[in-house]
Amino acid sequence: MTTVARDPVTAADPTPPAAKPAAGPSRHRFRAVAGFAFGAALLFAVAPLLLSDFRLSLLAKYLCVAMVAIGIGLAWGRGGMLALGQGVFFGLGGYAMAMHLKLADAGPGNMPDFMLLYGQLDELPLWWRPFASPWFALPATVLLPMAVAFVLGSLVFRRRVRGAYFAILSQALAAAMVILLIGQQGTTGGTNGLTDIQGFFGYDLDDPVNQRMVYFIIAGTLLALLALTRHLMQSRYGELLVAVRDGEERVRFLGYDPATVKLVAYVVAAGMAGLAGALFVPAVGIISPAMIGIVPSIEFVIGVAIGGRATLLGPVLGAVAVAWARTALSERFPGTWTYLQGLLFVVVVAFLPGGLASLVGLLRRGDGERRPGWLRRSRRTEAEAS
Amino acid sequence: MTEQLHGLYVRDLRVSFDGFTAVDGVSLDVAPGDIRFLIGPNGAGKTTLVDAVTGLVKATGSVRFGDRELLGRPVHRISRLGVGRTFQTSTVFEELTVLQNLDIAAGARRGWATLLRRRHGVPDEVAEALEVIGLASRADQLAGTLAHGQKQWLEIGMLLVQDARLLLLDEPVAGMSHEERDATGQLLEQVSRDRTVVVIEHDMDFLRRFARTVTVLHAGKVLSEGTVAQVQADPRVQEVYLGHPVDAGTAPTATEA
């Protein structure tokens, strides 16, 4: 076939090809492996050596929030779905795990302590029973949120609900779930939630050694989720997801159903939030409506926005930084954290829409070096930021 | 690839929005392998006609491509039957590279097993399209950094790798330089060898050079149809474009837009 267009507009072209040296796939792979090794060393060696047991268990809690953030980064940063109700999935995973642990604490045939305390029930409610088995409860922490996200997403994305409407809808879901939990105090623990969890599959959670073990499980899970998400982002699906974010109608005219593309990212994000909730329970020893409602759901998103939503590591670092700042600042200046958090959010959204991760990109742009994959982000947001 | 050519057969097509009839009983046949230009004043219903064919708006009547009825199917199904379109404003994925844009366009029939893996190398049809649209040297460039004309070519390239057999192009040369228009016209002639092409265009010079047949729409109806010369000689066309009949050969001109 002959070539028709002979590129008659080279003069008008803003980016000459010479300015884009291609980094080979092997170099990317090396960077990724090195990055993961560095992250593993940090999480598995440096942090346990430097941090006290108390600080380490706080870090475990932050890393759970970071897992939710990875999912939001995928759904929102890459897929354009502002998931403002991830607390629902976090809560489903958390409650599934807590129900199992409470039943295990109580022993076979017994009811959890709070049910006896409220004294309205003679026997264990039917829907609690399957959670006595770890073979049901553990998969349920991930599959239950994914199933709910699948049903919700199928209804919503096919009807082309998006943008602010989608965000509001997910918020409403978080509110509804909290109301439901509080209303059913006799079987859900109400406002208190499921508290005072003692054991974790036979291990006493009061023992610092076992707390460390929980931390290591959480750190390992986080790295695994990062690897999974990196793969998803770099796969053809990841490219397609960005295409759906930027031009849903156009993708439809190419013969894809964008609803399915979005659904996958949303369901994966829900599964991650569920897993995070499940691991949050042994790390903290409690799950309650206050941890999964509207406010925590928004805080998940704030961390992601501050870190950089379209990148792989931005959401993780943002979530950990915000959670850490929250603890540190509210220890010293109780009451001011909420204002600071709001201010930080506004400043980032207004002046750095790509999040803090885009700072690295801005700094690096001068030296002509190509940014590593996890920092490559939207050109548009970069232009807005500069 | 299905190599046989199909024609487009529209019968009594009607599209109404809240009582306003944008397309009012249009019937037209586009022969297999034709390059048909749709012209007409603003509001004549050209883009709405394309919207109806591609499933974007609801319509009554019948639209067949080959022997398949298109009306009533969702957009992405119509697309999979080999109907591709471009829009007045370029809609390439600006934050993806040229190569990624084409790869996505080529992939609507891919299964999940392929989707969830990483792309290795350049698929054959994508490499071929890169050559045809002249962007091979820019494969790794972000589509958002392309010049306007190049974006339009990328759109056409996306239709090629999508294996569209009917190309519906909405003002493909708007805003292009003379050289770019020539290149685009030659590109259309090349792709029409094994595809049917419908072009909405206001540029009369471009029309005279590259149209094989022309349909003039006016107020949602077909006003005139035929070769460029036949249409230009039609007094009704002259009246619509100039307000009164004039000597054949001077109208329509490139003033409308």
pLDDT digits (tens, 9 = 90+) for A101-135: 999 999 888 888 888 887 677 888 899 999 999 99
Task: Determine what percent of chain B is predicted with pLDDT higher than 90.
Answer: 60
Asked, for residue A142, whether it belongs to a domain, the answer is yes
**Percent of chain B residues topping a pLDDT of 70:** 93
pLDDT-derived band of residue A1, with 50, 70 and 90 as boundaries?
very low
For residue A130, is it within any domain? yes
Query: Of A4 and B109, which is predicted with more confidence?
Result: B109
- Indicate the pLDDT class of residue A364, thresholds 50, 70 and 90: low
Among residues A170, A171, A193, the alpha carbon closest in space to that of A181 is found at A193
Residues 6+ apart with CB under 8 A from B210: B35, B37, B185, B188, B189, B199
Structure tokens at A164: 């602010």
Task: Give the residue among A284, A304, A313, A326 at the shortest CA–CA distance from A193.
Answer: A284
Distance CA B208, CA A328 (A): 73
For residues A256 and B109, give the distance between their C-alpha atoms in angstroms, rounded to a whole number: 8
| Contact assignment for A254 to B54 by CB distance below 8 Å | no
Q: Which of the four pLDDT bands, split at 50, 70 and 90, describes residue A172?
A: very high
Q: Which domain holds residue A202?
A: 50-293
Arithmetic mean of pLDDT over chain A? 85
Among the partner-chain residues A7, A22, A242, the one whose CB lies closest to the CB of B96 is: A242
CB contact set of B139 (below 8 Å; sequence gap of 6+): B97, B98, B99, B122, B130
Q: How far apart are CA A79 and CA A318, in angstroms?
A: 19
Please tell me what DSSP assigns to residue B136.
G
Q: Do A5 and B187 touch (CB under 8 A)?
A: yes
Assess A26–B contact: CB distance below 8 Å, yes or no.
Answer: no
pLDDT at position B142:
94
The per-residue pLDDT for B32 is 92
The phi, psi pair for A215, rounded to 5°, reads -60, -45
Cα distances (angstroms) measured from residue A166 to each of A14, A83, A216, A353: 37, 8, 36, 20
Q: How far apart are CA B157 and CA B125, in angstroms?
A: 10
- Quick one: how far is CA A89 from the chain centroid? 10
Question: What's the mean per-residue pLDDT of chain B?
Answer: 88
A325 in any annotated domain: no
Q: What's the average model confidence in pLDDT over A202-223?
A: 93
Count of structural domains within chain A? 1
| B194 lies within 8 A of chain A by CB | no
Return all residues near A350 (Cβ < 8 A) that are at least 6 apart.
none
Bond preceding residue B252 cis, omega within 30 of 0: yes
Q: Which of residues 202-241 of B touch A (CB under 8 A)?
A: none
Q: List pLDDT tens digits, range B230-254.
A: 988 888 888 887 665 555 444 454 4
Q: Is residue A100 part of a domain?
A: yes
Q: Using pLDDT thresholds of 50, 70 and 90, give the confidence band for residue B256.
A: very low
In a domain? residue A355: no
Q: Is A249 on the interface with B (CB under 8 A)?
A: yes
Across the A/B interface, how many CB contacts are shorter than 8 Å? 140
Q: Is B180 on the interface with A (CB under 8 A)?
A: yes
The pLDDT value recorded for residue A24 is 56
Q: CATH topology for B8-242?
A: Rossmann fold (3.40.50)
Q: Residue A358 falls within a domain, yes or no? A: no
In this predicted structure, the answer to whether residue A374 has a pLDDT above a threshold of 60 is: no
Per-residue model confidence (pLDDT) at position A330? 82
Which residue on chain A is closest to B77 by alpha carbon? A255
Q: What pLDDT does residue B238 have?
A: 83
**Structure confidence by residue, pLDDT tens digits, B27-49:** 999 999 999 999 988 888 999 99
Are A235 and B80 a contacting pair at CB < 8 A?
no
Which among A327, A240, A270, A287 is positioned nearest to A148, based on CA atoms?
A: A270
Residue A86 lies in a domain: yes
Considering only A22-36, A75-89, A147-161, A232-246, which range has the smallest mean pLDDT? A22-36
Domain ranges of chain B: 8-242
From B234's Cα to the closest Cα of chain A, the distance in A is 34
The residue in chain B having the minimum alpha-carbon distance to the alpha carbon of residue A2 is B132
* A161 or A319: which leads in pLDDT: A319
**Contact A237/B116, CB-based, under 8 Å?**
yes
Q: Which residue has the tokens 């790794």?
A: B140
Tell me whether residue A306 is in a domain: no
Across the beta sheet with B221-226, the strand order is: B83-85, B166-170, B196-200, B35-39, B213-218, B221-226
**Helices of type H across chain A:** 25-41, 47-50, 53-72, 86-106, 113-118, 134-158, 164-183, 185-188, 208-234, 236-246, 248-253, 258-284, 294-307, 313-332, 337-351, 357-365, 379-385
